[in-house]
Structure 1
Amino acid sequence: MAKITYIEHNGTEHVVDVANGLTVMEGARDNNIPGIEADCGGACACSTCHVYVDEAWVAKLPAKEAMEEDMLDFAYEPDEVKSRLTCQLKVSDALDGLVVRMPEKQI
């Protein structure tokens, strides 16, 4: 299990425990975290679970695959380094302490 901090665009923080094997997106959905819409349900077919990963975590995460890179082109104000789709981040003990920030909106 990993403790993940989700920070809304307005600065409101939500710190939740997310079970290993789920995605960061599922952790937000299951805990009613506002700011992650996940319209496609985690199929990497939209960009509505877009977040900015805290800089301290960027290098600790697996590299983006081509499909995620393509979908991030449709995200609201993507950042080349920090933007990730939470449906593509599988939770494990290695993600304990992860901090993600939501964009102003999802598109």
Structure 2
Amino acid sequence: MTKIIFKEHDGKEHPVDVENGMTVMEAAIKNMIPGIDADCGGACACATCHVYVDPAWVDKVGKPESMEEDMLDFAFDVRENSRLSCQIKVTDALDGLIVTTPEKQF
């Protein structure tokens, strides 16, 4: 199991254990993390699972593909470390990953 720490925009933390192979979005939905709506169910067809990857983890998570970059255009308050959580696959290398939800999804 890999530990992911979800932080709400106000700083409240929700550490969860996640099975490898899941996406960060699936882990958020399974654990009822506030601030992750995932309206499209993980199809990279909306931006309601937008998160900010902690700066220490940006390189390990990697950069978004072009389809994800296009969808991020619809997200609220996009930053350099913005990602759609449906596009981040959980692996052992992400143990301890910290992501923060934006103040709102739209």
The amino acid across from 2:22 in the alignment is: L
Look up the equivalent residue of 1:106 and give its one-letter code: Q
TM-score, reference length from structure 1: 0.96
Paired position in structure 2 for 1:62: 62
The correspondence of residues 9-20 of structure 1 with structure 2, limited to 5 A, is 9-20=9-20
- Structure 1 CA distance for aligned equivalents of residues 20 and 6 of structure 2: 17
**Structure 1 stretches (4+) deviating beyond 6 angstroms?**
none
Gaps of 5+ in 1: none
Task: Tell me what 1:95 maps to.
Answer: 94
TM-score, length-scaled by structure 2 = 0.97
User: What is the CA-CA distance between 1:62 and the residue it aligns to?
Assistant: 2.8
User: How far apart are residue 63 of structure 1 and its match?
Assistant: 2.4
Percent of paired sites with the same residue: 67
Distance, in Å, in 1 between the alignment partners of 2:62 and 2:9 is 24
Counterpart CA distance in 1 for 2:62 and 2:102 is 21
Count of aligned pairs? 106
Residue 83 of structure 1 aligns with an amino acid whose one-letter code is S
Letter in 1 for 2:36: I
Alignment of 1:104 with 2:103, yes or no, is yes
